[in-house]
């Protein structure tokens, strides 16, 4: 139910993104109509991508917000990765088009008119995009929504490119040099292409279930800091993202003489720590193992009634050893 609420919240924010994108598109085309600036035109063309991407993101979040069914037992969260891939591809296409228009403006300059009016109109769109982008990234990061984060990154890249275009228009206003218009378009066209590539790269990583090393590192650090006495070993840790939901699998080794209820208490404690750190939209599948004699040297449980070997040292969990599918032991054991 918590994951469902987060998905609905993501959908609501994306509706605002789509609506605002349409309004800003109209403002930018008005600015181009008055100025005939190719830099403003490229900004408006990117906004067309914003609108299309906004509605793609809206549809993907609508799909991701659907409850699980018999055909999708893990939910529909992967739709967000497809949305981000499509959005990143369109950003790249917009960047290439901007580069083309910028080069053409350098070769065949077109006079720019009413630059002051264009500066004010385009500046307003930059401010709105900045606010909306920050909201999307903040909520998308909190809710683990790649589609919402991608929308926020897109809006931020649009803000940065728009600020650059405004700076170019100001310079053009005071110098009257029309080549500045094309040069500004080329610089920010390259920036937009790089941004699109990063979004596509991230989405493909999600589709292919690529390891999120930063997330795993944060999780390992948290588990080491809050390690319980009965957590003798932890291994085979894996994390898979399905939209706003994180699926975590691992094997937890506890003293073999614990009964089922006592072992389950240790699993509950592990689950609580992970959820406190990474949010409620986390699903944990923890397999409990009973300890074996060769693990006595790494177990510091002082009151163990069945210890067969003295404790030597604790093995610190790391990103490398915690993901291995084997129980930890000292090298000479």
DSSP sequence for 7-49: HHHHHHHHHHHHHHHHHHHHHHHHHHHHH--HHHHHHHHHHHH
pTM of the model: 0.54
The Cα 55–Cα 185 span in angstroms is 26
The Cα 115–Cα 31 span in angstroms is 9
Domain covering 2-207, topology: Alpha-lytic protease prodomain-like (1.20.1510)
CA distances from 206 to 6, 86, 258, 297, 304 (A): 19, 13, 38, 39, 43
The Cα 275–Cα 247 span in angstroms is 11
CATH pick for 213-298 out of 3.40.50.1360, 3.30.70.1350, 3.40.50.720, 3.20.10.10: 3.30.70.1350
Burial of 267 from C-beta contacts in 10 A (0-12 / 13-18 / 19+):
middle
Phi-psi map region of 142: left, alpha, beta (phi>0 left; psi -120 to 50 alpha)? alpha
- Give the CA count within 13 Å in the CB-facing half-sphere of 206: 28
The Cα 329–Cα 315 span in angstroms is 8
* Per-domain boundaries in the chain: 2-207, 213-298
Q: Which residues touch 110 (CB under 8 Å, ≥6 apart)?
A: 36, 38, 178, 181
The Cα 104–Cα 52 span in angstroms is 26
Q: Which residues touch 11 (CB under 8 Å, ≥6 apart)?
A: 58, 61, 62, 64, 65
Q: What are phi and psi of 286, to 5 degrees?
A: -105, 125
Q: How many CB atoms lie within 10 A of CB 96?
A: 14
Find out whether 220 and 234 touch, Cβ atoms under 8 Å: no
Give the residue ranges of the chain where pLDDT is below 50: 1, 333
CA distances from 308 to 110, 131, 293 (A): 86, 62, 6
Burial of 213 from C-beta contacts in 10 A (0-12 / 13-18 / 19+):
exposed
Q: Which residues touch 94 (CB under 8 Å, ≥6 apart)?
A: 45, 46, 48, 49, 192, 196
């Amino acid at each position: 139910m918590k994951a469902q609420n987060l998905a609905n919240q993501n959908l609501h924010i994306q509706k605002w993104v789509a609506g605002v994108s349409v309004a800003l598109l109209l403002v930018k085309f008005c600015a181009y109509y008055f100025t005939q600036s190719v830099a403003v035109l490229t900004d408006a063309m990117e906004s067309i991508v914003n609108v299309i991407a906004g509605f793609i993101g809206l549809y993907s979040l609508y799909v991701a917000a659907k409850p699980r069914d018999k055909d999708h037992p893990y939910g529909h969260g992967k739709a967000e990765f497809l949305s981000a891939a499509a959005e990143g591809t369109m950003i790249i296409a917009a960047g290439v088009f901007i580069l083309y228009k910028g080069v053409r403006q350098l070769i065949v300059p077109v006079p720019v008119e009413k630059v002051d009016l264009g500066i004010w109109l385009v500046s307003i769109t930059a401010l709105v995009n900045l606010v909306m982008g920050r909201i999307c990234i903040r909520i998308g990061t909190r809710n683990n929504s790649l589609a919402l984060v991608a929308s926020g990154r897109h809006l931020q890249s649009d803000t940065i490119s728009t600020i650059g275009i405004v700076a170019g228009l100001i310079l053009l206003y005071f110098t009257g040099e029309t080549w500045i218009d094309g040069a500004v378009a080329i610089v920010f066209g390259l920036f937009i292409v790089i941004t699109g590539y990063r979004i596509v790269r991230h989405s493909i990583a999600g589709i292919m279930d690529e390891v999120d090393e930063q997330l795993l590192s944060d999780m390992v650090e948290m588990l080491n800091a809050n390690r319980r006495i009965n957590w003798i070993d932890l291994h085979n840790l894996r994390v898979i993202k399905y939209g706003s939901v994180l699926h975590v699998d691992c094997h937890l080794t506890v003293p073999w003489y614990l009964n089922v209820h006592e072992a389950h208490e240790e699993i509950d404690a592990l689950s609580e720590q992970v959820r406190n750190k990474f949010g409620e939209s986390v699903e944990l599948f923890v397999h409990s193992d009973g300890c074996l004699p060769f693990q006595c040297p790494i177990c510091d449980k002082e009151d163990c009634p069945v210890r067969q070997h003295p404790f030597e040292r604790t093995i610190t969990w790391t990103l490398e050893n915690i993901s291995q599918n084997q129980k930890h032991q000292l090298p000479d054991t």
